Structure 1
């Protein structure tokens, strides 16, 4: 049961990451390539284009919550 939570969380984080990359490429091809190659550029994109990137960021946060609950419940 606990590993299922972690797996679901990982899948949600991956889905949020894919949505984020899609949004960067919608903005411009340069943003998309830069975010794929240089990780800190993703943070710059999030701060400059919060209105576009907030949905994928929140989806990834939900996935992290699933992962944390699965790990914490497994540790106890």
Structure 2
């Protein structure tokens, strides 16, 4: 789960940096408004692909770690 959290954090920071590289308006929009991030991802797929995939992989590792790490006790 820690590796997943690190990947998620790195991917998110890369995504925000990519948005600021395009323009300050995109960067602020991505930073404060989630729907703007989706629009930015679609419009700038080539620049944002790696950061998106890192975040997606990190999220998957967190979910898998949470499901496998703490089984729910049965009664």
Indicate whether 1:66 and 2:61 are aligned: yes
Give unpaired runs (5+ residues) of structure 2. Answer: none
Instruction: Name structure 1 gaps, 5 residues minimum.
Output: 1-5
Distance in 2 between residues matched to 1:7 and 1:55, nearest whole Å: 20
TM-score normalized by the length of structure 2: 0.87
Number of residues of Structure 1 aligned to a counterpart in Structure 2: 71
Regions of 4+ moved over 3 Å: none
- Judging by fraction of residues, say which structure has more helix: 1
Distance 1:65 1:41 in 2: 23
Please provide the CA RMSD for this pair: 1.0
| Max Rg structure | 2
